[in-house]
Amino acid sequence: MEKTKKEKNELWEWTKALVIAFALAAIIRYFLFTPIVVDGESMMPTLENGDRMIVNKIGYKIGDLHRFDIVVFHAPEKKDYIKRIIGLPGDQLEYKNDQLYINGKAIAEPYLQQYKDEITDEGTLTEDFTLADIEQLDKIPDGYVFVMGDNRRYSKDSRHIGIVKIDDIIGKTNIVFWPFDQIGTVK
């Protein structure tokens, strides 16, 4: 009799432990961190198709978003995109001769240098445009950001889908956890 009671008690303790573990995992995944798989080549060479990353869902809510942060957001096609923030609220934005200008000042993009060096034709990595060409705006409005993929020639980004609401951003990402030879942080 006592053995059966002890077995039931042990089973109950294991059940409670498993329920608590699953609840904690769900809370962490839903509110704090979630995995995502890079789908496509729009962020090459920084991120490769199939890379698995951790999205920090609280980082951008606690701290401000910064230019060049890599973020995951809900895109208009009901799909999540991974892109880099190029323009922040209040910015005037322009590309001319493969150079980013924010508020009239040239801004370096060192993460693009590898791609620029690999261009074999006479073209540029990023075609010329202004924010007014895309959104008929002279500045990025409050509550929005302008995002682009690092693979500028093959990225569907703010040049195609428009500026992105900050509220649509799921979180920042910069940690690759798979494949093993790519484990680490990206900038």
Q: What sign results for the dihedral spanned by CA atoms 80, 84, 87, 88? A: positive
- Percentage of the chain exceeding pLDDT 90: 37
The band of 121, judged by pLDDT with boundaries at 50, 70 and 90, is: confident
* Tens digit of each residue's pLDDT (9 = 90 or more) over 7-58: 667 777 777 777 777 766 666 555 556 777 778 888 888 887 878 777 877 7
- Residues with a catalytic annotation lie at 42, 83
pLDDT at 142 over 70: yes
107 exposure class (CB count in 10 Å sphere: 0-12, 13-18, 19+): middle
How confident is the model over 108-125, as a mean pLDDT? Answer: 84
Q: Does the pLDDT at position 68 exceed 90?
A: yes
Query: Considering the entire predicted model, what is its pTM?
Result: 0.81
Q: Give 72-101 pLDDT, tens digit per residue.
A: 898 887 888 999 999 999 999 999 999 999
Q: How many angstroms from the chain centroid is the CA of residue 86? A: 12
Separation between Cα atoms, residue 110 and residue 92, nearest integer Å? 20
Q: How far apart are the first and last CA of the chain?
A: 63
